C-alpha cells in the first residue's frame, strides 16, 4: 500500500474531495460542492492510497476573536475517510501534517465542530465552547417584567440589510470569544444561506430613537405540517446580534409579533450566557438544550497564550506534557502578564500547574476555569492559591461562542 500525504493539486482533485465528503456525511452533493467552491487546493491535507483519495481534511484560514483579540486559527472541516481505508492510521498522519502546516502559517490554534467528539479528543482537542438551542412557541415567551422599547424594528431584504448587519456583527464580535471574522463568502454561504432551498432570507434591524442601528437578526419563515388548529409557521433564526438590552428586547418583541408562527428555532444563534432564561416569565418554555460546540487544539502554545488578553496582572508557571501530535509544545513555561499583554518563556522551574494540551484549550477559550478542570481531574495544581490565580488570569467577560458552523 503506497500512501501519499499531500494537498489537492487542482479543482479536479477538489471535485473528488467533494464526492468523498458527500458519501462520508451522507450529505447533499450540491451542499458539498458549495463548501468546496470556496476552498483552495492548498487549504486541504489528504491521504492518497495507491493514487486514490482516501482521507480528507480542510483548513479554512480564519481570524477568530480570543477574549477580544484577533488570532489566526485554522478552521478544520471536511474530515473524512472512506470506510475501506479506516483503522489504518491515515487520519493521524493527515492531522500531523495539517498541524505542522498550520504552525508554519502562523495559525496558533485549530478549531472545529465535531461530528463525534471521540474522534478529536485523541488528537489533543479540548472543548472550547458549548452551544445553546431554543425551540419555543412565541406565544409563551413573554418577558416577566416588560417595559416599552424606545426604538423601532424594520424588516429588510438580505441585500439591503447585509451592509448594516456586517457592521453590527463586527462591533458585537470585537470583545468576545471565538467569533470568526466573517468574509463575504462566509456571510453568503453560511449566515445568509437558508436552511431550506428557495426560502427568502430576511433581516430585522433594530434602530434606537436616534436612528442608529443597534441590533439585527437573520431569519426565515416557512409553513410546515403542524397539527391543527395551528398556527403552522416555523421561524428559524440564523443570527441574533444585539449591542444593548433595548435592541435585545426590541427584537424579541418582534419575534413574538409573528402571530402565525407556532415555533421559533434558535439553533446556535445565541451564546451560552444568553439572558433569555433570566428574563422570561416562564423560561422552561424555551425548551433549552446545551451541547458541545467548538473544539479547539493548541497548535503553537507560545503564540496562542501571548496573543490572548488575560483577566489580570500576574505570573504563573505551567507545564504541558505528552503532546504527541505537536511535540514542540511540550515543556514548562513561565507566563508573565499585565493583562492586555503577556510574555511566555520556557523555564526549568517546577510548574505550579500541569495539564494536557486539551485542558489548556478549554482554559484559554474561557470555557472552563482551572478550578473546574482540577475538580474533573484534568489539571494538576500545586495548591488552591494557584488555582484561584489561574481562574483570575484566564477569566473572560463573555462565554465563548461561535455562531457559524463550518
Q: Give the residue-averaged pLDDT of 13-27.
A: 95
CB 355 within 8 A of CB 378: yes
324 pLDDT band (50/70/90 cuts)?
very high
Q: Which residues contact 19 (CB under 8 A, 6 or more apart)?
A: 29, 32
Give the pLDDT confidence score for residue 247 in this predicted structure. 98
User: C-alpha cell of 369?
Assistant: 476555569
Confidence class for position 370, pLDDT limits 50, 70, 90: very high
Asked if residues 176 and 57 have their Cβ atoms less than 8 Å apart, the reply is no
CA distance 351 to 256: 54
| Residue 230 in this model has a pLDDT that exceeds 90 | no
Those residues whose C-beta lies under 8 Å from the C-beta of residue 132, and which sit 6 or more positions away, are 268, 270, 271, 272, 274, 288, 289, 290
| pLDDT, tens digit, 9 for 90 and up, residues 45-67 | 999 999 999 999 999 999 999 99
All residues at 6 or more sequence positions from 35 whose CB lies less than 8 Å from its CB, including other chains? 18, 21, 77, 78, 189
What average pLDDT does the segment 186-200 reach?
Answer: 91
Backbone φ, ψ for residue 374 (5° rounding): -65, -45
Question: Of the candidates 394, 369, 404, 365, which has an alpha carbon nearest to the alpha carbon of residue 176?
Answer: 365
The pLDDT, as a whole number, for residue 186 is 95
Integer CA distances (angstroms), 96 to 46, 276, 329, in order: 11, 42, 14
Which residues touch 87 (CB under 8 Å, ≥6 apart)?
Answer: none
pLDDT higher than 90, residue 225? no
Higher per-residue pLDDT: 306 or 198:
306
SS3 content of the chain, % helix, strand, coil (to 5): 30, 30, 35
Q: Of residues 146 and 363, which shows the higher confidence score?
A: 363
Task: Assess contact for 76 and 112: CB atoms under 8 A.
Answer: yes
Mean pLDDT (whole number) for 292-296: 97
Local confidence band at 228 (pLDDT 50, 70, 90 cut-offs): confident
The residues facing 109 across adjacent strands are: 73, 298
pLDDT at residue 196 in the model = 84
pLDDT of residue 386: 97
80's CB contacts (< 8 A; 6+ apart) are 20, 21, 24, 25, 55, 56
State the pLDDT confidence band at 31, using cuts at 50, 70 and 90: confident
pLDDT of residue 314: 97
Confidence at 12, pLDDT banded by 50, 70, 90: very high
> Given this model, what pLDDT does residue 273 score?
95
**Domains recognised in the chain with CATH numbers:** 3-107 (3.40.630.30), 132-290 (3.40.630.30), 302-393 (3.30.1050.10)
Q: Would residue 210 be called left, alpha or beta, if left means φ above 0 and alpha means ψ between -120 and 50 degrees?
A: alpha
Whether the model clears a pTM of 0.85, i.e. scores above it, the answer is yes
Amino acid at each position: 500500500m503506497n500512501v501519499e500525504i499531500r494537498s489537492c493539486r487542482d479543482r479536479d482533485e477538489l471535485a473528488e474531495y467533494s464526492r468523498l465528503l458527500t458519501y462520508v456525511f451522507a450529505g447533499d452533493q450540491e451542499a458539498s460542492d458549495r463548501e468546496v467552491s470556496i476552498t483552495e487546493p492548498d487549504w486541504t491535507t489528504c491521504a492518497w492510497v495507491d493514487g486514490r483519495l482516501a482521507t480528507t481534511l480542510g483548513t479554512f484560514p480564519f481570524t477568530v476573536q480570543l477574549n477580544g483579540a484577533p488570532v489566526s486559527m485554522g478552521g478544520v472541516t471536511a474530515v473524512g475517510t472512506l470506510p475501506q481505508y479506516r483503522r489504518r492510521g491515515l487520519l493521524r498522519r493527515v492531522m500531523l501534517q495539517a498541524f505542522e502546516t498550520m504552525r508554519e502559517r502562523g495559525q496558533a490554534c485549530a478549531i472545529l465542530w465535531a461530528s463525534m467528539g471521540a474522534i478529536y479528543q485523541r488528537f489533543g482537542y479540548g472543548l472550547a465552547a458549548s452551544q445553546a438551542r431554543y425551540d419555543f412557541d412565541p406565544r409563551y415567551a413573554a418577558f416577566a417584567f416588560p417595559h416599552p422599547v424606545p426604538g423601532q424594528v424594520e424588516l429588510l431584504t438580505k441585500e439591503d440589510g447585509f451592509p448594516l448587519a456586517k457592521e453590527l456583527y463586527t462591533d458585537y464580535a470585537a470583545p468576545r470569544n471565538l467569533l470568526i471574522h466573517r468574509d463575504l463568502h462566509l456571510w453568503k454561504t453560511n449566515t445568509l444561506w437558508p436552511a431550506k432551498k428557495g426560502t427568502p432570507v430576511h433581516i430585522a434591524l433594530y434602530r434606537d430613537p436616534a436612528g442608529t442601528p443597534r441590533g439585527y437578526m437573520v431569519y426565515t419563515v416557512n409553513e410546515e405540517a403542524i397539527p391543527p388548529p395551528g398556527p403552522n409557521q416555523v421561524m428559524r433564526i440564523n443570527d441574533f446580534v444585539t449591542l444593548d438590552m433595548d435592541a435585545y428586547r426590541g427584537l424579541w418583541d418582534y419575534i413574538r409579533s409573528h402571530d402565525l408562527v407556532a415555533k421559533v428555532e434558535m439553533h446556535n444563534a445565541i451564546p451560552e450566557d444568553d439572558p433569555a432564561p433570566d428574563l422570561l416569565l416562564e423560561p422552561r418554555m424555551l425548551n433549552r438544550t446545551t451541547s458541545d460546540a467548538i473544539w479547539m487544539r493548541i497548535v503553537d502554545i507560545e503564540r496562542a497564550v501571548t496573543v490572548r488578553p488575560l483577566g489580570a496582572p500576574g505570573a504563573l508557571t505551567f507545564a504541558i506534557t505528552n503532546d504527541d501530535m505537536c511535540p514542540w509544545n511540550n515543556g514548562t513555561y513561565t507566563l508573565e502578564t499585565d493583562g492586555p499583554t503577556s510574555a511566555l518563556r520556557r523555564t526549568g522551574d517546577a510548574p505550579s500547574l500541569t495539564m494536557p494540551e486539551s485542558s489548556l484549550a478549554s482554559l484559554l477559550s474561557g470555557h472552563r476555569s482551572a478550578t473546574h478542570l482540577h475538580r474533573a481531574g484534568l489539571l494538576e495544581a500545586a495548591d488552591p492559591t494557584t488555582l484561584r490565580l489561574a481562574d483570575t488570569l484566564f477569566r473572560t467577560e463573555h462565554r465563548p461562542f461561535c455562531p457559524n458552523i463550518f
